[in-house]
Chain A
Amino acid sequence: MFASCSNPAVLDGLPWLMCYLTSGKHLLFYASFGTVLLLLAITAPLALLLGFGGALAARSRIRPLRWFGKVYTAMVRGVPDIIFFLFVPIAMDQSLEWLRSRVYCDPSVPVRQGNEFVVCALAKLPRADAAGWVHQGYGFALAVVAFAIVFGAFAANVLSGAMAAVPRAQLETAEAYGMSDRQINRRILIPQMWTYALPGLSNLWMILIKATPLLFLLGVEDIVYWARDLGGTKTSTYAYPHPDWRLWYFLVILAFYLMMTWVSQRVIDRVAGRLSHGQATLAGEAMRRVAVP
């Protein structure tokens, strides 16, 4: 990156370290922290949306919809989430390729041939001639879908619990005022449930943060990938030879995650304070007592 780094072999000490830490691969490593944040930024709203849908479906009057909601919310209880992370991307990939193969390929050729899953070149996703970033982006998109489905189920659980926790009397009052089901949902149920949902949702956010290293298992070039790549022993054929430094790289990642969870906890505590304001709960009562001596 810097002109003085053109020949690292002659450098020593601090300049060497400066050049080492600004090498091209390290810049990719730093950028991969952005990948993690991007995943969080896309997944969190998506999961919340799915969770919202799931929770409303579980309360629905239409029976099949209610069953679907219940199964979706119950899905994650007994099964480790990592199974979903391994299963969903490959299942999605195969389903999409199968669908495309029905359109683009000769339908008389079976897709499953013994232990092989074969589709013609046209149906491959992404196509073999696609650019590198398309492959990366496709892998990332599959990861986002897997995360959103799993965390959507978690969120649906939290939100349906929160909806059940809104005091019945409030909903009955709304009915007495002549509001329709829709109006009750929109004006009373949804605004009131947040204070009950917050502890669960904040926990969920923490778990989501701590689940992001699993991106590595899905083949995305995330921080774990780069930490292993950069930290591994580099022989003298490399520009910057060094012994096995993976431990140090992982300690950096550890610090990153500790910082993320610590900052999140501070923010959550603030939001919790704001949401309990004026609520008929223990926390709200405590705030009222402080305000009115």
Chain B
Amino acid sequence: MNQCLQDIADFGLRSIGIGELTLSGIELTLCRQMTLIASGLIWNIYFGVFALAVGFWMATGLALAKSSRNPALRRPAEWFIFLFRGSPLFIQFFIAYQAFVLLPREGVEVFGVIVQTSWLTRAWAGALIVLILNTAAYSAEIFHGALRNVPKGDLEAADAYGLSGWPRFRRIVWPTMLRLAWPAYTNEAIFLFHATTLVFFSGFPVFRQQGDALYFASFIADRTYNPFVAYPIVAGYFILLTLALITLFGVVNRRLNRHLPGAAQRLRYRPNIIR
């Protein structure tokens, strides 16, 4: 037991480079396997949280652009969404990495200022950018669908109250859109967290064995020739993560629906297995 606590202290933050650094000679006990994989989960959460946080705002803009009557706004949004929804995330990672590698090492000069570019080839930045763009495209499609389903009566009521432009959007259209889109968006969030496991299996190299949960799981499975322990551990962690996400998004859903009769009941999350 004490040994295990010591292992957690040693390896708990291994994925971000704190603690015991060499993994080559150590014995991989069950406790160490669980600790290492859990520490890898930090990366999955990092990618997921930041991609969702930025992608959400981008998606709102893209959905509005796609609903716009002006083709100069609509066309680029449609193309962006098609590009990212129509191609595999795996290939997007590869392309992004190759493109970032091609940038000059000494940096790019923008308006007389030298901008460093080497950090783009590292997973924490490069892969995060790809994930942001990817989730923005998928969420924009969801928001676009919701935007088309905003009840006409709500808009007429807004007109009757003299709301127009930004206040109408901010107070009527946007909350309703979010309310309608929320179950599907919950699903998208779950898939995004699942997609973060791809980062270190695509173009982006792992820096000093600081990888995500699946990286450590596959590392352990390769080392011990035993897939029957490490992979179920990482699967278990992801089930817990998924449940936590559903709870969190359920709270938001209740808040979005709080004005509706019967909103006190819990979100009936109908798990959609498909993105």
The answer to whether the Cβ of B6 comes within 8 Å of any Cβ in the partner chain is no
Q: A83-B214, A86-B218, A94-B227 are in contact. Are A213 and B98 (CB under 8 A)?
A: no
Instruction: List the A side residues contacting B86 at CB < 8 Å.
Output: 257-258, 261-262
| A158 on the B face (CB < 8 A) | yes
A112 and B226 contact, CB distance less than 8 A: yes
Q: Say if the beta carbon of B198 comes within 8 Å of chain A.
A: yes
- 0/1 per residue, B201-244, Cβ < 8 Å to A? 10000000000001001100101111110010011001100110
Return the contact of A211 from the options B85, B88, B239 (Cβ within 8 A): B88
The answer to whether A251 and B223 touch across the interface, beta carbons within 8 angstroms, is no
State whether B214 touches A77 (Cβ < 8 A): no
Instruction: Determine whether A162 belongs to the interface, using a CB cutoff of 8 Å to chain B.
Output: no
Mark each residue of chain A from 65 to 90: 1 if its CB lies under 8 Å from any CB of chain B, else 0.
00000000000111111110011001
Whether A80 and B238, one on each chain, are in contact in the complex, defined by CB atoms closer than 8 angstroms, is yes
**Residues of chain B contacted by A124 (CB below 8 angstroms):** none
B227 touches A87 (CB 8 A): yes
Contact assessment for A76 and B98 in the assembled complex, using a CB-CB cutoff below 8 Å:
no
Minimal beta-carbon separation of A126 from chain B (angstroms): 18
Chain A residues with Cβ under 8 A from B195's Cβ? 80
Residue A20 interfacial (CB < 8 Å) = no
When the two chains form their complex, are residues A254 and B87 in contact, meaning their CB atoms are under 8 A apart? yes
Q: Are B98 and A210 in contact (CB under 8 A)?
A: no
Minimum distance in angstroms from B150 CB to a CB of chain A: 18
Residues 95 to 112 of chain B near chain A (Cβ within 8 Å)? 95, 98-99, 101-102
Q: Is the interface of B mostly helix, strand, loop or mixed?
A: helix
Stretch at the interface among A22-30, A182-190, A199-207: A199-207
- Contact pick for A82, options B92, B201, B271, B273, CB 8 Å: B201
B218/A117 in contact, CB under 8 A: no
Q: Assess whether A234 is interfacial by the CB under 8 Å rule.
A: no
Contact, CB under 8 Å: A86 / B231: yes
* Chain A, Cβ-Cβ closest to B231: A87
Q: Is the CB of A258 within 8 A of B87?
A: yes
Interface assignment of B35: CB less than 8 Å from any CB of chain A = no
B90 at interface by CB-CB < 8 Å: yes
Query: Known contacts A86-B231, A91-B228: does B102 contact A247 (CB below 8 Å)?
Result: yes
B98 A250 Cβ-Cβ under 8 A = yes
Contact of B235 among A79, A117, A154, A213 (CB under 8 A): A79
Asked whether any CB of chain B lies closer than 8 Å to the CB of A246, the reply is yes
B94 at the interface (CB under 8 A from A): yes
A224 is contacted by which of B94, B98, B221, B226 (Cβ under 8 Å)? Answer: B94
Residues on A with beta carbons closer than 8 Å to the beta carbon of B4? none
In whole angstroms, what is the CA distance A31 to B270 when docked?
42
Q: In the complex the two chains form, is A83's CB within 8 Å of B242's CB?
A: no
The answer to whether A83 touches B231 (Cβ under 8 A) is yes
Chain A, residues 194-226, CB within 8 Å of chain B (1/0): the string is 000000100110010111111011000000100
Contacts of A77 in B (CB 8 A): 242, 271, 273
Fill in one digit per residue for A234-277: 1 if any B CB lies within 8 Å of its CB, else 0: 00000000001011001101100110011000000000000000
Inter-chain contacts of B214 with A (CB < 8 A): 80, 82-83, 86
Closest to A86 in B: B218
B197 at the interface (CB under 8 A from A): yes
Tell whether A157 is near chain B: CB-to-CB under 8 Å.
yes
Establish whether residues A78 and B242, one from each chain, have CB atoms under 8 Å apart when the complex forms.
yes
Chain A contacts for B94, CB-based, 8 A: 224, 227, 246, 250
Contacts A/B (CB < 8 Å), 20 sampled:
A77-B273, A79-B235, A79-B238, A79-B239, A80-B195, A80-B197, A83-B197, A83-B238, A87-B235, A90-B221, A117-B225, A154-B274, A203-B274, A210-B89, A211-B88, A213-B91, A224-B91, A246-B98, A250-B94, A251-B95
Given contacts A83-B235, A210-B90, 11 further A-B contacts (CB under 8 A): A78-B239, A79-B235, A83-B217, A91-B228, A115-B224, A153-B273, A204-B274, A209-B88, A224-B91, A251-B95, A257-B87
